[in-house]
Structure formats: structure tokens, C-alpha cells
Structure 1
């Protein structure tokens, strides 16, 4: 009963404990009287209270002895936890928005006035703003906290930032693919990014500096990271890179060395990079190279001069007073959507741009004469119209290929669809439409349609030397341009990956059909697939449904146990990467977080901040109290948090 050996009775005297406490009660003659006397004793009431508290603590799950002995500790821990909530939320907010936390003078106790002035960093300024806005719990904590127990230091920030990084979904999905890419940051360090793709989702897991860029060092870095995250390397079913020699080499590249540890990690050349290789190849054609050269000269002439840029804006307002003036876009070779944006702006602002160049020439600027002559030529108008439609198709394909939930089969269908659209542009009637549109525009501008006929040296015997403008531009511009625009290279790249899966089911079964618990049964796979196809079409599902919908159907209908091998095969198919765009997106965050003023940020802190900023959606289900619990479990704290 948790009673002491002696207790005070009702008259204030000590009573030696006997029956019901230390010795069994055996005198049953006066049991009712003795029970009433025992119930009236204070030591029994004290023991009963302790027993009730014990039962309550067991039922509530609170088994901490310190909290049971002294409720004051528990109340104090709860108060401090509530006071830490705004600190944790502020760190998460800064991480999500990519806001730098620290400053050169951010140690010690927070001075509210100094922090609000911005001299102690953004993190302390936000905490001071909360205090100034009436956060009473934070005011009490910062006022009463000891100098070394404020939990706003850079070390505490690093611990809390690290806790926010989670990987539970990957382990639940089991099968995954790796995506890797690298770039140079503001401090001229080589930074690499490792992303994990699982069930049509991309999750960034690693970001940091790397010094040795050889294939073996890269593989060691990937394996080390996967082991730290307690992920089984054998469950990796795909690897996606940008095609660099150290990564994609078929003899000693990363894709070959990594397959020694993960036999089923099929290599996929990034579809976006493959398509962009096609775009760069087309720029070598003389007509296209000349057109983009003219664009670059015009952009340099206008955008580098505030005066001439102001003239360009005035001319746009004179043509359309309601629309907002736009700026010329550079046709960057590293940004995938830049060429189509540059041509779109030229087409939209063609007339104001011509007027701008004429005004510049009227002010005795000789540099604009060549650009104006090129812009008012028939070949320029024809090429821009044709390239605009082609690049629009390519840009749409690039955007679709970068979708997170896109699988290889759907990517192949998109490539086929784009190729069919390009074939329609190669039609003779389509050329006549382009030629008619360009002729109408030159008539409005009163520009003669001129061209240079091929010389006799370049003409074979029997060929016509005399050409009409339509024949000349068809043979010298239109068909040569369209002859280069083909998606065959991308189609072949995706087809090879799919053939590796379709033609080698025995390889899949060797990797996943061995051991005590088989993931794929090679003898039942074909039978399962035939039965599932009959069931799939019987319930009215459409043939054009993607693989992700098929997996969702298996899960929703509870068919995973009925078709285990088919389920595994579908999950592997949708886990394979299509592009490395997930890694490319993190480099944009890198430029926002590791700026010129924050170029000395440590690798571990930088990695965690970028992960929080990129994977901000994964922070939504995380409870702040769970973060504080993990923070308290890591090591002994100066103040009690639980």
C-alpha cells in the first residue's frame, strides 16, 4: 500500500502498523469494526491516493518515475516544451522558405531591440518579432532562461534541422531508384545531389561537396549514404544520370560499378538531357545558327543599354497600351525552355522591335543596321515561325518528361506522339501555310522577297538553275531544318531500357526470386499476369490507364496478396527514373540558400536546409512535439523536456 512503517493517527500520535499492512489480519470476529478503523486512518488514505495515482499513470502511459514522484517536474517540462515550440516552428519556416538563419553576431541571449534591427540574423529577428507581437510563452522563456540554456544557438539549430529530415516512406515502399547530378556552387565547390525515386515520387536525401569525381569514389559515396539511411542496396532497381562519361560509361562508369552491388539497378540516361542533345545538334545548322546569332545581337544591343531598353518599352506601349511591356529573353544553352521563350518574345514584339531599331539608327548608331536588315528579311520571318512551332512541341515534351509521376512507358508514348506532330509539320501543305504567312507579313512591311540562287558549281547536270522563292526556301531552309528535328535518339534510349526489362524476366527473378521470402515467383509470374489482365479488362478498366493507376487498383481492391509477383513487377516499372530533373531542381535551391553572402555555410547544415526547402511537403505531417521528443532523446539536456 506504499505506507511507511509508522504513521500518524487521528490524534497526532505515531501508530505502529500491524494488521492489513505488515501482518495478515486473522481476527474475523470484529472484522467490520477493524475495517472501519483502518479506513479512517490517514496512512490508509495516503496509501490509497498513491495507488490511484499509480494506476492512472499506468493507464495513461506515463511511466516516468520522476514525473510520478514529483508533479512539479512534469509541469515544468511541459511549460518548457511549449516555450520551445515557437523556436522549432521558426526554424522550419526559415528552412521551407530558404531564409538564412545566422549572422556574424548571433551568440548569447537574444536582445530584442538589437535582433529586430537585423543585427543578429534572420532567425533571432523572427523570434524577436514574435516576442514583440505578444508571444507570452516565448517572452517568459527568453527572460527567465539561463545564458547557456536558451536553445537558440547554432548547434541547437543544426540538431533541430537534422531531426526534420525523414525517410520512413522509402522503407515502406521498399523498391527505389537513385538519381544523381552535380553542379558548382557560389564558393566554386563541386556539390552533388542524390535523390531517391520510389513509387512515382522523388525524395532528396543527400547534398554535399565532393572532391574526387572518379567513378569509384562516387559509388562509394552513394553506398555510404544508403547504408546510413538503413536502405537495402539490393532493393535499388534503377539509376538515372545525365550521361557524363564518369557516370554512364559502359566499362568502368558509375552505372557499371554500382550494378555490382545492386544487380537490378537498370541504367536510364536522363530523357531530358537526351532530348536537349538533339536541340543542341540542330543549332549547328547554318540557318538556325544564323537566326539565334541575330537574336543574341539584338538582345545584347537593347538589354545592355537602359536608354535603348526604355525606347523599346515606349514602342510596345504605343502599339498596345493595355498590355505590360516585356523584356527580350536570352536563348541560353543551359536553360531548357530559353530558346522557345526567346522566339516567342520576338514574335510578340516584332513590330515594336523593328520601330525600336529604326529609332536607334536615326540617332546615328551604326550597330543596329545589320540587325534591322536581318529582322526585315524573309528568311528570318520564315525560320522564326517554323522554329517557334517546333520548339513549342519540344518544350511541351520536356515539361512532360520532368513530371514526377511519369513512368517509362508513358514517356515512350509521349515521344511517339511528338514525333507524329513533327511529321505533320514536314507536310507540303504546312510549308505553304508558313510561306503564305511570312509573305503576308513582308507585304505589310513592304519588304522584297530576295534570295541567292545556287551557283553553277553546285548544280548538277539536268537540274534547274532558275528557282522561284517558294522552291528556294523549301529546299534550302524548310526541309533541311526539319530533317534535323527527330526524336529517334530519345525513342531508342527509352526503348533500350524497356527491352532490358521485357526481354530479361529471368534476371529479375534471380535478383528478387531467391531467399526465404520470394518477391517474384518465376513459375507463377506469367500465369498471374494472364489472370490479372482478364480481371483488369473485365471490371471495365481502360487500356490507356498508366502503370501508376494499375498499382493503385491492386492496392485498392486488395489484390496484392492475390497477384504478388505482378504487383512487384508493376512497382519496379513505375520506380524506374525517366529524367534527373529532380536533382536539377535542387540546384536552384542551392543558389537561393548558399549565396555569395552565405558561401561559408557548412556542408551538413547546407544539406539539411536544402532537403527541408526542397521536400517541404514532407514536413506537413510532422508534429512539433515529435521533433522536441527526438531532440530530448538525443542526449541529456540542461533542462528537463520530458
Structure 2
């Protein structure tokens, strides 16, 4: 019997999937069975006789099928062929209806109890052989044997097991393992609910820059918020804090740090996933000192993300965290940046840009950070922050003595009034003249100029009637300086062009700025002072008349400074009248300084990288084919490793747009990606690189304000990891609010 079974199992493996007529015929010839035999065409799989051996295995799905739909002989089946030689009686098909648990096996050549075969009792001692391990062949006493088998404890247990099995398979009842798992999952869910209240409380503190701890745990913001939740009806948290084990309340300082680090990891993981989906990225970095004197390096990335609503690429600049610097040399900083990006699991071979300020340690072309990183990753070109360049242009104006002195005096006057509440109330509110917040500086000069007469009168009053002698002296000195014609004219000139630079500075702080837009802004910005320089006589007349009115209003004699024959410390411009003198000594040098600084500093943009902007239809139409091919070669020399077949695709791209008659000036550079991706993938990749190149570092510098709000004098001993995590929550507040699964993701990550 075992030899036949092994043979049938082997035939089943080979003939189940590819049964042919010839194999079926051969099988009939070998076994001598008719067409009703269940062994044909794979029907023997549901013959209960295959599973008499305790070593045979049937999965749950097959067992359920054997239990409910086993193979059964047809009405034409010849049972006499299965009886032993010399036997007088054969099996009757009506017995299958009489005993529902009974099943006939063509392989075993007799009836079996399929319930006992499939759910065999574990005890083997005293086990009845018939119906379980072998068929019952005593057909002359079949009813007595069947009734006796149905009353055995083995059969009853098997019936119960089969019913439970069917319920489990129908999902009406859980198995033992599932029941244990269910109890475990129930406990897990209860713990998750308890932890959710604690997680959301710390998250609330982090999003609103609130201190989690206090001088002591009692009375801290975190503990008070927990009590507030309990008073608001959070019964789960109340039971947890009152009846939970004291060593597993999850409110200790260590748990707080672990949760804050988990917040940071989840946020950073989301951003890193977006960066990986983007083809290329750029790194942004800047350094500042916190309140405790630790040098913190702020690191971020610039990349393209596809907007799911509009299906358009969006430029993103995301903050990734602070890293404390042990040394401030270029080698240490470059190693810190590379190690940070590698820990984020980013492919640095896809790094195409570096955005820093212009200090020597970062921008040095011999041993600066950008040079050290560029040596390892040649595609990572350095781009000086455009906002920093614009500020350097303004600083270059200090070469004009009158401009430098006027800016210094203006700053002193503003600080003088802001030192005292009584003095501040005497003039309109003027923003602080801050050297690092450039847009605020321009705004401060503009408002100061608009309220100049009020400020001068306040200075005069304080110099005469102030109760404090020191205040009188300071006010008199500032009043004397501010009422000179040179100061008034210079202030008006600075205010006019500061008002023109203010919107440009604000525009440069946008995330979606690219180097093409920067170039357009600078070109327009340079044209304005250049046109004024060409028409200096007309432009300055309006300024001079306004200065005269101010002097008449304040009763100031408007005259030019004394001119000496051998004067060396002041400009002795040859002039016929006062207007001519100030135009030549202040207005024209001021404009010349702006124009030359803009052209010199913004001309340092990497020429080959800027060639990427020539892929815009409006730009390439201005080029002949030879010039465009030279541009394409420059791009390929920089990014050929990731731009496959770029020259051929760029040439076709050029020819397509060159023949286009419709205007393309209004076509956005980012919109070209959707048009190029299907047929010009290399061109689309090059456009992505052009959009990914960093224009400014404003996004990273905004993290400095967050740093100062979080690490204050009262929290000066905060750890670096905790600081970075809280800054991540504060900076990415909007991202956290929009992510409905953020708390669940934090809980899952914390549970690991």
C-alpha cells in the first residue's frame, strides 16, 4: 500500500498541471481502473486515503476542503473491484448518506471516517484501527462497526475539533494562537492609547516652543498639561498615572528625550524619502552660536517634490537638524556635513549643489568646505547665497565716506530712542537697524527717513530739556550731526535705494527662487541705478529739492561744506553751486558703487552650471545651433555621469523649440519637466538639476530664530540632540499638523 501511495503522489506532482491524454491512457492501463477513477486528472488530491499516514501533511485550506467536499464515488462506481479476493460483500453507496462522517477512499479501497483521519486523536495506545488508520472491510457487520465507532471518545473529540476548525476558518472563532495574539494585541492597543496622550502632550510643547521641563518636575509645563488633560476627561491617562507601575509611567526625562528624538527621526525620515524620490539634491548649511556658546551647524537640503494635487514639481528647502561643531576649520565642517548626509542614507553621488555664505572657511576656493566636498563629489558645485551677495553689495557702499558715516549715525539715533520707553514714545516706532536681518535694515532706513523731521525735533527737545545730563549730551551730539546738509542729502539718497532694494531682498528669501530668476532680478536691479546714473542731473534734482524743504522746515542753513585748497580728508569736488557739489560728491559715487558691486559680485555665478538655464525655450531661441551645442557640451561635462544620451536629446530639444512659433516668455522653467519627461528624459533631468541648484540659504538661516526661541537663558543646559529634535518640531510645525498619521508613526517607531 505504501509503495502504491508513493507512486501516486509522484504521478500527482508531474501530472496535476499538465495532464495529457496519453498519460491518462497509460495510467488506466497500469492500474486497470475505469474512467470514473478519482486518480485521473488530479482528482486523487481529495481522496481521504492519501492522508492516512500520520506523516502526510495537508494545509488548512485543503483540510477544510477534505472535510466538506471530499472525493466521493459516482453512482456508476464499481465497488466490487475494490474488495479482496474471496470476499462476498462490497460497500454500498447508501451508507454514505446514513453516516455523514463516512467517506469512501478509492486508494484505501474502503470506507474511512474523514473526521478522525483529519483530526486524529493524539493518544495512539488503544486506538481502534478501522475507520482511522485503515478502512473497515467487515461489510457483513458494517452497521455494528460504524455505530460502535460513532460512540467512541476518539470520534466525539474529533467531531468537536472539526467543528471548532470550521468556525476558525469561517472567522467565527479564534484559534489558541490567535486568542493569545488577540490578548497581546489588546494589551498593546491599551498601552498605545496611554502613550498617545503623553506623545501628543510633548508634541504640543515642541510645536509651540514651550519648555517641557521646569526648575522641578512639579509645576512643569509638561506635568501641568497632563493634569489639564485629566481634568478635561482623559480617563485612560488618569488610570494610567494613578494605578500604573511607577517604573513604567513613561513621563521621565529619559522618555521625554527618547520621544523627542523619535519625533525628529520620523520627520527626518519623511523628508529623506522625498529626497530619495527626487533625482538630485543640494545641501544648504550655515553656522551660528547658541546661548551657551556652542557653535551649531544648521543643515538642510533643496530638492524637487511632485505636488499630488497639481501634478507639478515644487522646489523644497527643508531643515534637517543642528549639529554641534567641535572645531571651526574647513576640514572639520566638511567632514561633519558629509557624515550627517551619509547617516541620513543619502546618495552623495546625486549631490549637485552646495549653498553657503561667503566666509573663507566655507567658500574658500583652495581649502574651503565647498572645495573639500567638491573634490570628493565633482558635481557638487558651490553657489554663494544671493542674499549674502546683495548684502555685500550694500556693504561695499561703505567705501563712500559720507554713506558710511550716515549709516552709523542713523543706527546710533535709533538705538538712542529705543533704549528708553519715554524716548521711544516721542517718535514713531522704528525697527531696529539690524545688520543681520537685511530686510529689516532697509525697512528701518525707509521709516527713519519718512519721520526724519519728527526725530530731529525730539533730539532738539531732549538736548535742551532732558532731566539727565548724559541724555542731554548724547542728544545734542546726535542732533548736531543729523542737522548737517551732508547728512540730510546722504540719508535721502540711501533711503530711496533702500526702498528699491527692500522688495528685492524679500523676493530672494522665497524658496522657489532659482539661479535664472536670480539673474533676471539682478539684471533688472542693475538697470535701475544705471539709468539713474545716465540721468544723474534730472534724478538728483528731485532729491535736492526735498532736502531743501527739510532744511527750511527745521531751520537749517543749506550750504556746502567748507572747501580747502589742500583738503585730503574730505572730497573737494569742483562745483558751481551746492546742488552740483552734492551730486558729484555723494549721488554719483553712490550709484557707481552700487552698479560696479552688482556686476562684480553677481558675475561670479558658475558659468557652466548657469548653462542649464539656456534649456528654456525663450533662451535657446536666442542662440544659434553651434552656440547651443557648446552649451550642451558644458552641461554634459559637468553632469554627464547622470545624464545619459544628453547631447542627442538636447539637440532634438533645440530643433523642436527653434521651430516653435508661439511665444514662450511666460512658460515657467519648472513646467518644462512635464513636457520633456516622456521623450527627452535627459533634458528633463538637466532641468531638475537647474531647479535644484541653491540660490540662497535663507531657509536654513530661519532656523536660527527657532534656535534662539528654544534655547534661552532658562534652558541653556539643553542637550544637543534634544535641541535639534525640538527645533525640527518647531520648524516643521505645518508638516506635522498636515500629517494625520504622525502620532501613530511616532508610537510605532518608539515601540521598536
The aligned counterpart of 2:735 is 618
The aligned counterpart of 1:261 is 376
- 3-state DSSP of counterpart to 2:478: helix
The aligned counterpart of 2:46 is none
Deviation at 1:567, TM superposition (A): 0.9
The aligned counterpart of 2:539 is 430
Please give the residue correspondences for 1:214-613 in structure 2 after superposition, counting only pairs within 5 Å. 214-310=329-425, 312=426, 326-363=428-465, 365-426=472-533, 427=535, 428-452=537-561, 454-457=563-566, 467-486=576-595, 487-494=598-605, 496=607, 498-499=609-610, 505-506=632-633, 509=636, 513-514=640-641, 519-530=643-654, 533=657, 542-551=664-673, 553-554=674-675, 560-613=677-730
| Superposition RMSD in Å | 3.5
Tell me: CA distance 1:104–1:162, structure 2 relative to 1, closer, same or farther (3 Å).
Answer: same
Paired with 1:531 and 1:252, the residues of 2 have a C-alpha distance of 43
Deviation at 1:399, TM superposition (A): 1.7
Tell me: CA distance 1:609–1:284, structure 2 relative to 1, closer, same or farther (3 Å).
Answer: same
The aligned counterpart of 1:323 is none
Paired with 1:152 and 1:216, the residues of 2 have a C-alpha distance of 41
Is contact 1:101–1:123 with CA below 8 Å preserved after alignment?
A: yes
Is contact 2:321–2:727 with CA below 8 Å preserved after alignment?
A: no
Is contact 1:274–1:489 with CA below 8 Å preserved after alignment?
A: no
- 3-state DSSP of counterpart to 2:300: strand
Deviation at 1:82, TM superposition (A): 1.9
* Normalised TM-score (structure 2): 0.70
Structure exhibiting the larger radius of gyration computed from Cα positions: 2
- 3-state DSSP of counterpart to 2:213: coil
Is contact 1:183–1:190 with CA below 8 Å preserved after alignment?
A: yes
Paired with 1:135 and 1:531, the residues of 2 have a C-alpha distance of 68
Q: Which runs of 5+ in 2 are unaligned?
A: 1-59, 65-112, 121-131, 305-314, 467-471, 615-629
Tell me: CA distance 1:245–1:19, structure 2 relative to 1, closer, same or farther (3 Å).
Answer: closer
Aligned pair count? 577
Tell me: CA distance 1:83–1:450, structure 2 relative to 1, closer, same or farther (3 Å).
Answer: same
The aligned counterpart of 1:319 is none
Paired with 1:86 and 1:66, the residues of 2 have a C-alpha distance of 31
Q: Are positions 1:175 and 2:298 aligned together? A: no
Paired with 1:435 and 1:302, the residues of 2 have a C-alpha distance of 28
Q: Are positions 1:192 and 2:290 aligned together? A: no
Tell me: CA distance 1:465–1:624, structure 2 relative to 1, closer, same or farther (3 Å).
Answer: closer
Is contact 1:267–1:497 with CA below 8 Å preserved after alignment?
A: no
More deviation, 367-376/85-94: 367-376
The aligned counterpart of 1:640 is none
Paired with 2:235 and 2:224, the residues of 1 have a C-alpha distance of 17
Deviation at 1:241, TM superposition (A): 1.3
The aligned counterpart of 1:134 is 233
- 3-state DSSP of counterpart to 1:524: helix
The aligned counterpart of 1:154 is 253
More deviation, 264-273/38-47: 38-47
- 3-state DSSP of counterpart to 2:393: helix
Tell me: CA distance 1:269–1:54, structure 2 relative to 1, closer, same or farther (3 Å).
Answer: farther
Deviation at 1:170, TM superposition (A): 0.8
Paired with 2:705 and 2:608, the residues of 1 have a C-alpha distance of 29
The aligned counterpart of 1:75 is 186
Is contact 1:208–1:603 with CA below 8 Å preserved after alignment?
A: yes
The aligned counterpart of 1:6 is none
Q: Are positions 1:163 and 2:262 aligned together? A: yes
Paired with 1:498 and 1:385, the residues of 2 have a C-alpha distance of 40
Paired with 1:583 and 1:387, the residues of 2 have a C-alpha distance of 29
2:119 to 9, 21, 24: 21
Is contact 2:551–2:557 with CA below 8 Å preserved after alignment?
A: yes
Is contact 1:506–1:522 with CA below 8 Å preserved after alignment?
A: no
* Normalised TM-score (structure 1): 0.81
Deviations along 1:479-499, one digit per CA (max 9) or x if unpaired, are: 122221121133202364645
Deviation at 1:565, TM superposition (A): 0.2
Please give the residue correspondences for 1:20-39 in structure 2 after superposition, counting only pairs within 5 Å. 21-22=119-120, 23=132
Paired with 2:514 and 2:599, the residues of 1 have a C-alpha distance of 19
Paired with 2:292 and 2:481, the residues of 1 have a C-alpha distance of 41
Deviation at 1:267, TM superposition (A): 0.9
Deviation at 1:393, TM superposition (A): 2.1
Deviation at 1:261, TM superposition (A): 2.2
Deviation at 1:192, TM superposition (A): 0.9
Tell me: CA distance 1:17–1:309, structure 2 relative to 1, closer, same or farther (3 Å).
Answer: closer
Deviations along 1:159-180, one digit per CA (max 9) or x if unpaired, are: 3223333221111113111111
- 3-state DSSP of counterpart to 1:485: helix
Is contact 2:632–2:650 with CA below 8 Å preserved after alignment?
A: no
Deviations along 1:367-399, one digit per CA (max 9) or x if unpaired, are: 323433443443333322221121122222222
Paired with 1:20 and 1:76, the residues of 2 have a C-alpha distance of 35
- 3-state DSSP of counterpart to 1:18: helix
Paired with 1:342 and 1:512, the residues of 2 have a C-alpha distance of 44
- 3-state DSSP of counterpart to 1:205: strand
More deviation, 182-191/526-535: 526-535
More deviation, 559-568/21-30: 21-30
Deviation at 1:238, TM superposition (A): 0.5
Paired with 1:406 and 1:241, the residues of 2 have a C-alpha distance of 16
- 3-state DSSP of counterpart to 2:212: coil
Paired with 2:160 and 2:257, the residues of 1 have a C-alpha distance of 53
Deviation at 1:509, TM superposition (A): 4.1
Deviations along 1:396-417, one digit per CA (max 9) or x if unpaired, are: 2222222111110111001111
The aligned counterpart of 2:199 is 88
